[in-house]
Copies of this chain bind each other. A is one copy, B any other.
Amino acid sequence: MSAGHTDGTVGKALGLLDMVVGFGRPVRFVEVQQVSDMPKATLYRLLQTLTNQRMLSYDEERSTYQPGLRLVQLAHSAWRQVTLAPVARPHLDALSAKLGETVHLAQLDGGQVLYIDKRNATRPISMFSDAGKIGPGYCTGVGKAMLAYLPEAELARALSQQSWFGHTEHTHTTPDSLRNELPDIRRTGISFDREEHEPTIICIAVPILDATQRPLGAMSITSSTLRHSLTDLERFAPDLHATASAIARDATGLSLPINTVIA
């Protein structure tokens, strides 16, 4: 499991925050209570604290809790500091303009893939509503591209954090199955999503590597089997690689983050 019920009160509070935010809609006290295993009073005080801190907001009329704006404010700094997005932006713009395809930029966060930026095939507009999404590491193009370049210790930990759910018949459902693919990815510098996450959805991805070959992030071009074959996608590889190394170059010197989960 990821960040959970430890770390004392703070951990509980943050877990609760995740829970409320995760509902994706305003929630009433009872709804939270049913999902949480805390007693009423505890839950109540914790929700108050979070509301007080503007991590949640409380709608008095409907008596519901929602994410608070302080999150947006905090994320602003996070986004700028620990994310490839700012340096990658112009490169993604250029790539997207040249190819006219859907481009994703992602980073690895505790075994999961965190999407940080996106250019849409049709509306080439970067928007935060697509950033911040998370996805599985073991069955996405970007995920595999980054996993392939992880040092063994971190790889092992990342693999242990995957669900190995078989989304489609092509999904890797065991660590070993995925491990078998990684040398190929390292050899070619390319990873494919062969309908492993969603049927008909395919993608080609490349890692963004720093000077020491550590994966800073990954980029992908997504399409569907209706529009492209894998071989079609492969033709994007040179452009992807060029963009990836341009981003990596611009990112040197920046204090990159990540993957340093303590426990």
Give residues in A with beta carbon < 8 Å to B. Answer: 2-3, 6-11, 13-14, 17-18, 21-22, 24-26, 46, 48-55, 57-60, 62, 64, 66-83, 85-86, 89, 93, 107, 109-110, 114, 116, 125-129, 131-134, 255, 257-258, 260-263
Contact = CB atoms under 8 A, between A and B. Distances in A.
Contact of A74 (B17, B59, B89): B17
Contacts of A85: 128-129
A231 to B, nearest CB: 32
Given A10-B53, A262-B51, A72 B131 contact: yes
B25 A125 contact: no
Within the oligomer, what is the number of copies of this chain? 2
B9 A53 contact: no
20 contacts: A6-B52, A8-B49, A9-B9, A10-B13, A11-B49, A14-B53, A18-B74, A24-B77, A26-B255, A52-B263, A54-B110, A67-B74, A69-B78, A69-B114, A69-B257, A72-B75, A73-B132, A75-B132, A76-B132, A126-B127
A81 to B, nearest CB: 5
A11 B13 CA distance: 10
Nearest to A116: B72
B76 A133 contact: yes
A53 B17 CA distance: 12
A116 B86 CA distance: 17
A129 to B, nearest CB: 6
Contact of A57 (B67, B71, B73, B257): B257
A54 B3 contact: yes
Given A7-B49, A53-B10, A21 B72 contact: no
B10 A77 contact: no
A254 to B, nearest CB: 10
A68 B78 contact: yes
Given A3-B52, A81-B24, A258 B132 contact: no
Nearest to A263: B52
Given A57-B260, A69-B257, A255-B66, A22 B77 contact: yes
